Structures are given as structure tokens and as C-alpha cells.
Amino acid sequence: MAEVMQPPAGIEVTETITGFFWFEDGIMCSVSKPNAPKLSPEQEKEETEKFYARFGKQKFCMLIDGKHVKQNSREERQKAAEILPDFVKAIAIIVHNPLGRILVNLFVGLQKPPYPLKMFKPGEESKAKEWLKQYQNN
């Protein structure tokens, strides 16, 4: 089975409660921790505030490795649908298995995001980055 994305050597990686992120060519790359804890509403609010404090309303293209992403509750999906448009230009998701594809389709199907979103297979990270580049200057 394919491994999760890894940052290139020498790139600054930021760790959060639930995962890691770094920037490559202006694209925010994100990987969830394998056993990431479920955040309480208070922790979720705190993590969101930290993110806004660091980045403001700056928008990014995002490449998310979905290998360890877990199913979210309806409330969590609604919250993500409210917050993500504040800082997302486009999202490419590396989907590792059929369940992951179902979860992404469920998220997108319940409320179509106002930004482009496309799924890719493990090993297609370069292809995903190329797809995202068309949205970087939007």
C-alpha cells in the first residue's frame, strides 16, 4: 500500500494536533496523523483561531493526502464547508482506497464547494500539483 506524502528535505513542517502541513511551490500540503484524536468543539475552535492568526484570510491551493482522514460528523462537515472557502482556492486530494473516495464524494455531494476539488491516486502527487497550479493566481 502506498505511503503518505512526505515533505522534501529542508522544508519547514508545521505539526498540529491532527497532522502536519508544509508549503511546496506555494501549495499547502497536508497529511493527517494515523491516529489523530477527534477534536472537541473547543479544540477545533482553538486550532481554527491559530490558523487564522497565522495566515489571516490568505487563500491557498491545497494538496491533502487522505490516507488517514477519518469520517466526519454532519456538524464537522458543515463547519468545514463554512471555514474552507475562507482560505481555499482549490483542493487536490490523494485518495488511497474506495472508502476514502466515498467520503470525499459524500462531503462534496452534500454541499458542492465553491472551489475546484479533484481526487488523485497515490503516486499522482506531481500530477495533482500541476492541476493545482492553474488556480494559484486566481
pLDDT in tens, 69-128: 776 677 776 777 788 888 899 999 999 988 778 777 776 776 788 999 999 999 999 999
The third-level CATH classification (topology) of the domain covering 14-32+50-133 is Transcription Regulator spoIIAA (3.30.750)
What pLDDT was estimated at residue 67? 87
Q: For 30-95, give the DSSP string.
A: EEE-TTPPPPPHHHHHHHHHHHHHHHTT--EEEEEE-TT-----HHHHHHHHHHHHHHEEEEEEE-
pLDDT in tens, 7-56: 889 999 999 988 999 999 999 999 989 988 888 888 888 888 888 888 88
What pLDDT was estimated at residue 132? 98
- pLDDT of 1 higher than 60: no
Residues whose CB is less than 8 angstroms from the CB of residue 108 and which lie 6 or more positions away in sequence, other chains included? 117
- Domain borders along the chain are 14-32+50-133
